Structure 1
Amino acid sequence: MIPLTEILAKSKNYGGLTLLEHTQQVTEAIELFATKYSFNFNIDVARRGAILHDLGKAHPYFQRKIKDINSGSLSEIREWNFVHRHEISSLAFLPCFPKEEWNSLIDLVIGHHKSIENDPSGRGIIDLVENDRMLIDNHLKDWNDWKGYGFEILNLFKIKTKDISYEEAKSALDYVIGFCERKNNGYSPLRGLLKSADHFASAFTHNTSSHLKYLFETPDLSFFRDEERKSDLYPLSQISTDDSRKHTLVVASTGAGKTDFLLRRSEGRVFYTLPYQASINSMWERIKSVVPNKDIRLLHATSRIVTKNNIDEQILQPLAGSAVKILTPHQLASIIFGTSGFETVMLDLHGTDVILDEIHTYSDFSRSMVLEIVKALIRLDCRIHIGTATMPTVLYNELLNMLGGKEQVYEVSLAKEILDTFDRHRIDKLEDESMIEGILRDAFANNEKVLVIFNTIKKAQDFYKKIEEEEDFRFISKMLIHSRFKRGDRVELETKLKSEFNGDGSELFGNGLMPCMVVSTQVVEVSLDISFDRMITQCAPLDGMIQRFGRVNRKRTIDTIGKFKPVHVIKPSGSVLPYKMEILKASFDQLPSEFEVLKERSLQEKIDVVYPILESKEIDVHLIYKNDRYQIKELTNNKKAVLVDALEIESSTCILETDRGKYLDGNWEERLQMEIPINYRTISRHESKFEQLEVGSYPFVIPQQEFEYQKYGLQLVEHDNFI
């Protein structure tokens, strides 16, 4: 019998952590999580669940696999040819614990990796019961040879043990199966608790203790409450946040100080949501620079790229317990769709402050999702703070009612006289795109920075190619930015846009490149702190356009108030996807023309004309909570595909053919840098034409030349069929 120090929990590739070490680390983590979560956990039971959760890794099947021991003979291959789940074997040690704790211990342990049924890989315990008549025998194989390791660990944690016979262990697993089969609808906080502790300890291993001490801190937001930040330039800074009502609804112009106000309203840990990757990158940088807490996190697909200089920050991003976490609502969607880990997210959110910024930008499925998230946050006793520059009255009233009406909601808006000071754009309507080049020539002659926005990536790419060919614009600094660049390149492009083109006030970049032109899509619409001199844009829904306009003449000073910059809006025609023509026509009609000033005080009335009713998409079929009760069975979760179906989000990835070899050989971080996100519906029209790899994120391989990609981003080109 080998010593306990040679029984591994993690393979050599993941540090070769022993089972005892991992158990110690998870136990330490769960004690903190059980104490800090706003849920009345029995800490002693939680601790025992952590001690128990991985004891099944001492099973010889697991040790053979993790040590890469290959079967030699045909009989040996047959002997070990079965599905083993270590969490099932762990529960054979239940007889060492009081019977009244068994149900809680099962909740903690049995689902900490897999849904107990309908698991995508078919490896949940109920799935295995239905498909493996030898389930219990296999999970107790050679029981007498390895149970001693479990007893040894239990003894080290001062848990009194007794010998467990094979029959007793079998009876315990029979009990586990029956318990799981009898599960009702609902969700298991205990499952979420063990998962969060296990994930944290697995991420930090030997450094678990040092990182636990920074978790669950209330953020120090004193910077935003500093009296010296009060200014007439930012009218919300003059309004008190001292109001006893739980929730907040703020409607105020871009640049009025919404971010500061929403953060000043926050009392505890903060989840700050914004709609786009670029906007949350900027917000993370902004908050991290002034909030002294160590644990300020960023959560989205490229967060590990943005935090690349700090390996600890990379690891922390998806874990629970942050002081401030900046993310998109899609990262919260698991709490309404029940995808993997939703119980942990619910525990992490419970009782916190959740800021939903720029909530008006969501439409169709995403709007329905956000409204359902608000309902879930209310059930989780969150303080909800909603901020927006524009919002249809019907949507405002819907949110107000959800949050409990005027008795529960602190409503804040700006007086019309103050709104007048935010007038900053003169609108020019264009019949078509034929006038764009003339406008650009005049703008560049005046040394202006120009932002050109199209509603689709294809239009942006085509226009950029056309401008490149124009001799008049050959020496003008220009940039194309949209969502179909490699994740790593996208972050660099955002940085370049904010520093070099916009100007960051530094000695190197000053006020930015002048003249210059940036061609883009909706990715620059929200919360990117850039301020250009002129905009040319395709018509979009009115609320979205108002956000776009906010990227022009954005800098607010005493000198800029009352000064106006031009915005040229192209009349909608032909195909207007991804939008609806009736919305675009109504939006275009509401805009002034002939360089008349767009009045901030008129925006609410105009938006209500465009959106007289609240339109949303039906997503009830996907929800785990309907009609005041849960529709999902405890200890289970839904497949991620449900979330993708409901939101139609960018659920697929592509890579360039030139990156194929590097992707196949790369680690997860290197692969992430090469991936280009794309909507599955877009790629599905072409999927038969492209190879799809069976590793990483299963990317489609696009045969685009690297130099073409560097200039224009991903283009769905096909292989040349000519020899």
Structure 2
Amino acid sequence: MTDTTIWAKSASHGGALSLFEHTRHVMDVTAAIAGALKFDERLAVLGAAIHDLGKAHVAFQRKLTMKKSQLQDPNQILHRHELSSLGFLPLLPREDWPAVIDMVVAHHKPIRQAAQAADGFGKGIIDLDKRSRTWLADHLEGWEDWSPRALAVLEELGITTHAISRIEAEEAIRFALAHCKAKGYGWSAERGLLMAADHFASALTDKAKDQLSLLFKEPKLEYFNRPHELYPLSLMAADQPQRHTLVVASTGAGKTDYLFRRCRGRVFYTLPFQASINSMYQRLLKTDEEKPFGGSIRLLHATSQLVENRGKVEEQLQSLVGASVKVLTPHQLAAIVFGTPGFEAVMLDVRGADIILDEVHTYSAQAQAMVLEIVAALRRLDCRLHIGTATMPSTLYAELLRRLGGPAEVAEVQLAPDVVVSFDRHQVYKVARDEDDPAGWPLETDEILTQAFAVGEKVLVICNTVFGAQKQYQRLRELFPEVNHLLLHSRFKRGDRAKREKRLEDEFNNPKIPGPCFVVSTQVVEVSLDISFDRMITEAAPLDALVQRFGRVNRRRTEDTIGKFKPVHVLAPGPSYLPYGAAEIKASYAQLPDHGGILHEQELQQKIDAVYPQLQPWDISTHVIWDGERCRLRELCNNTRSVLVDALQIESSACILEKDQEKYEAKDTPWQERIQLEIPVSWRSMRPHLGKYCRSDVGALPFVIPGNKHYEELGLLFDEHDIFLEN
């Protein structure tokens, strides 16, 4: 590189990279994506070629070397490099301008942002036109000096150029402004294409080209065609002519394989919880080793990069487009419903793919409303949807069937009644609470555990809250000090939780390692974790959640286990029903058998419908960008991420321990290590403590929690004295 090199990125923003290198990478990726998605490849590559030429502007080059304090200088012009890039439109035929403008003008900021901008001022082209009389002149300042250098980059990239006068450049930007002002409602595939390619190229830089042959490659899923008498769904046909699928089948019936057998193209597999997603991802990696899919497998959730251990490239690929199989949460698809940043790229990524929505019944009312909207949005994108669940209220089933287009469009799959009987496997015992201590756990549970451990059983204990799990774990650990034990809940550091989940799978769930042992957990173990215990003690919960919890007991289906039953003990509802509603817990408890009665799978639907007689979806209509087939969002615009938070009430915060603060805030601590130190906590749980703790001004701005000398055993404690009483 020379002193005259035009830089696209500085060393402090992902590594020094020249404009030539970055543009070449983006052009390569754009060509590959355009070819896979049937875009006009010539036009797409031209848009990629000019998208960042405005970075040659002296203001941008100067900004790359500035400190944060200097960026606040009021004398600095407000420069958006993508707007300066529009000055190079005269290199293209006039008929190409509209499509290229759509690619370039909003690949970082929407064209109109003022109403949503955090500082009250948007930075899109329409915003700047309203707030500044000099914005156009500012973006072409020094044009005669820096535009030839930008043109030289294009020439080096093999693109024929010619000199562009300032008048021509100004006319081009004014054309782009008028084009943007005339935009109606809808979404821009061109914007999504450039954003997807830019993100991909920026993440992988010179390694991007090695991945292009795998982009949008359909996987080979023959592995899942493996009939076995123990798994009745594996014996059922999966070649029905309907596009979509609704499967209701007992846990262990082979539902995962069946859902994959229904897929015809690239697959997005969604699950609600991080632990279950990680488990499914590892399962698919092992499957791929045994019989390769012939494409890429990726994982995506809030901390998925901490789980990926196959190398830096695989880590960077997780959030990018074009995977053959991707395991993720529905929240990662929510952008297509709420129009949050990058939603156009997500729409291009999923368009025409197979989407598996597994365990759809396990969502809150807010998240369930989101899933219903996602179903509608995915149908608009010509996706094939395959929905699976162990239990589902009839009202929810009917609504999903309607949104999928009815029986003519949906293959409805259920097990025959005589087959369902073979999945009975749990004896239910209700455990009354002590009248003198209704909030505590009765002595009967200690007697149950004593007898279970005496015969070497593995016991799973589930509490409804983190605080409850911490108290029970401490009590049981002291009561049974010789028994191997584990505590698992959400308030561990992200890195520590991943280790505990692995220990749960490798040690406590390993049939080669005998009991006795006990695991105390919250509902994080409810869904799709392939674990099997001998016995369970659980607090009362909604019936659908209880069924999922029971599914972690006597899970392994063999010729020897069919017709055999294992015990589950359910505590009567206590004085607190958090985090659930009192009515649904009481109704659910009333539906359970007692005194060792069998929970019959054939009766589950009737019991579920008794608890949930009506569908009560959360109203998120004011946040959704779709009204039937009509998009209510202006093209080249997007909503802020706060819309998703407001609609679903999922706002969360992060905490760190005081002892980790110095490391967390150190300048040389990589972001990956910072994330591993964070402890996620919902805002609902944080609100009672907001006045107690200071916040770090680094990273996720976590609350700094002092004390917690017992963290290694119990996880985060806000009030230690509630558990550890002074003597």
C-alpha contact (below 8 Å) 1:351/1:381 kept by paired residues: yes
Query: Partner residue of 2:263?
Result: 266
Measure the CA separation in 2 of the matches of 1:641 and 1:50. 30
2:84 aligned with 1:89, yes or no?
yes
Query: Partner residue of 2:438?
Result: none
Give CA-to-partner distance per residue, 1:3-24, whole Å, 9 cap, x none.
6961111113433211011111
- Shift of the alpha carbon at 1:384? 0.3
Query: Partner residue of 2:154?
Result: 154
Query: Partner residue of 2:445?
Result: 436
SS at match of 1:250: strand
Query: Partner residue of 1:41?
Result: 39
Measure the CA separation in 1 of the matches of 2:718 and 2:647. 25
SS at match of 1:601: helix
Which residue identity does 2:350 align to in structure 1?
A: L
C-alpha change, 1:513 and 1:640, in structure 2 (3 Å) is: farther
* Pairwise CA RMSD: 2.0
Query: Partner residue of 2:282?
Result: 285
Query: Partner residue of 1:390?
Result: 391
Query: Partner residue of 2:633?
Result: 632
Query: Partner residue of 1:179?
Result: 179
2:117 aligned with 1:107, yes or no?
no
- Shift of the alpha carbon at 1:130? 2.8
C-alpha contact (below 8 Å) 1:29/1:201 kept by paired residues: yes
C-alpha change, 1:77 and 1:190, in structure 2 (3 Å) is: closer
Measure the CA separation in 2 of the matches of 1:173 and 1:11. 27
Query: Partner residue of 1:550?
Result: 551
Measure the CA separation in 2 of the matches of 1:614 and 1:459. 30
Query: Partner residue of 2:725?
Result: none
Q: Indicate which of 470, 475, 479 corresponds to 1:466.
A: 475
C-alpha change, 1:22 and 1:553, in structure 2 (3 Å) is: same
- Shift of the alpha carbon at 1:167? 2.3
Query: Partner residue of 1:567?
Result: 568
Q: Indicate which of 38, 48, 51 corresponds to 1:50.
A: 48
Gaps of 5+ in 2: 434-440, 723-727
Query: Partner residue of 1:643?
Result: 644
C-alpha change, 1:265 and 1:43, in structure 2 (3 Å) is: same
Which residue identity does 1:136 align to in structure 2?
A: L
2:725 aligned with 1:704, yes or no?
no
SS at match of 1:621: coil
- Shift of the alpha carbon at 1:126? 2.4
Q: Indicate which of 475, 479, 485 corresponds to 2:486.
A: 479
Matches within 5 A, 1:449-528: 449-470=458-479, 473-503=480-510, 510=512, 512-528=513-529
Give CA-to-partner distance per residue, 1:653-707, whole Å, 9 cap, x none.
11111111111122211111111111122213322322222221221111133x4
Matches within 5 A, 1:133-532: 133-225=133-225, 229-291=226-288, 292=292, 293-432=294-433, 433-434=441-442, 435-470=444-479, 473-503=480-510, 510=512, 512-532=513-533
- Shift of the alpha carbon at 1:218? 1.0
Query: Partner residue of 2:675?
Result: 672
C-alpha contact (below 8 Å) 2:301/2:329 kept by paired residues: yes
Give CA-to-partner distance per residue, 1:4-62, whole Å, 9 cap, x none.
9611111134332110111111001001111112xx52221111100010000111111
C-alpha contact (below 8 Å) 1:650/1:677 kept by paired residues: no
- Shift of the alpha carbon at 1:196? 0.5
C-alpha change, 1:454 and 1:307, in structure 2 (3 Å) is: same
- Shift of the alpha carbon at 1:157? 4.1
Measure the CA separation in 2 of the matches of 1:232 and 1:431. 40
Measure the CA separation in 2 of the matches of 1:637 and 1:387. 32
Residues 157-166 or 10-19, more deviating: 157-166
Which residue identity does 1:243 align to in structure 2?
A: Q
What's the TM-score once normalised by structure 1's chain length?
A: 0.94
C-alpha change, 1:651 and 1:4, in structure 2 (3 Å) is: same
Give CA-to-partner distance per residue, 1:602-629, whole Å, 9 cap, x none.
1111111111111111000110112431
Measure the CA separation in 2 of the matches of 1:395 and 1:450. 33
Query: Partner residue of 1:657?
Result: 658
C-alpha change, 1:718 and 1:86, in structure 2 (3 Å) is: farther
C-alpha change, 1:19 and 1:469, in structure 2 (3 Å) is: same
- Shift of the alpha carbon at 1:403? 1.0
SS at match of 1:112: coil
2:12 aligned with 1:9, yes or no?
no
Measure the CA separation in 2 of the matches of 1:270 and 1:309. 21
Which residue identity does 1:408 align to in structure 2?
A: E
Matches within 5 A, 1:564-643: 564-643=565-644
Residues 211-220 or 562-571, more deviating: 211-220
C-alpha contact (below 8 Å) 1:247/1:409 kept by paired residues: yes
C-alpha contact (below 8 Å) 2:87/2:172 kept by paired residues: yes
C-alpha contact (below 8 Å) 1:186/1:633 kept by paired residues: yes
SS at match of 2:673: helix
Residues 573-582 or 589-598, more deviating: 573-582
C-alpha contact (below 8 Å) 2:572/2:589 kept by paired residues: yes
- Shift of the alpha carbon at 1:265? 0.7
Measure the CA separation in 2 of the matches of 1:521 and 1:295. 33
Query: Partner residue of 1:63?
Result: 61
- Shift of the alpha carbon at 1:163? 2.2
Measure the CA separation in 1 of the matches of 2:370 and 2:72. 49
The total of aligned residue pairs comes to 702
C-alpha change, 1:717 and 1:703, in structure 2 (3 Å) is: farther
2:686 aligned with 1:683, yes or no?
yes
Which residue identity does 1:255 align to in structure 2?
A: G
C-alpha contact (below 8 Å) 1:59/1:89 kept by paired residues: yes
C-alpha contact (below 8 Å) 2:248/2:388 kept by paired residues: yes
C-alpha change, 1:384 and 1:78, in structure 2 (3 Å) is: closer
- Shift of the alpha carbon at 1:254? 0.2
Measure the CA separation in 1 of the matches of 2:177 and 2:232. 61
C-alpha change, 1:693 and 1:71, in structure 2 (3 Å) is: closer
Measure the CA separation in 2 of the matches of 1:175 and 1:430. 74
Give CA-to-partner distance per residue, 1:391-448, whole Å, 9 cap, x none.
1111111111111111111111011111111110000001122022121111111211
Which residue identity does 1:450 align to in structure 2?
A: V
Give CA-to-partner distance per residue, 1:46-96, whole Å, 9 cap, x none.
111000100001111111122348999xxx997961221111111111122
C-alpha change, 1:621 and 1:654, in structure 2 (3 Å) is: same
SS at match of 1:6: coil
C-alpha contact (below 8 Å) 2:215/2:322 kept by paired residues: yes
C-alpha contact (below 8 Å) 1:535/1:566 kept by paired residues: yes
C-alpha contact (below 8 Å) 2:218/2:295 kept by paired residues: no
Measure the CA separation in 1 of the matches of 2:720 and 2:635. 46
Measure the CA separation in 2 of the matches of 1:320 and 1:469. 50
Which residue identity does 2:473 align to in structure 1?
A: Y
- Shift of the alpha carbon at 1:324? 0.2
Measure the CA separation in 1 of the matches of 2:721 and 2:597. 50
Which residue identity does 1:326 align to in structure 2?
A: V
Measure the CA separation in 2 of the matches of 1:149 and 1:520. 61
SS at match of 2:408: coil
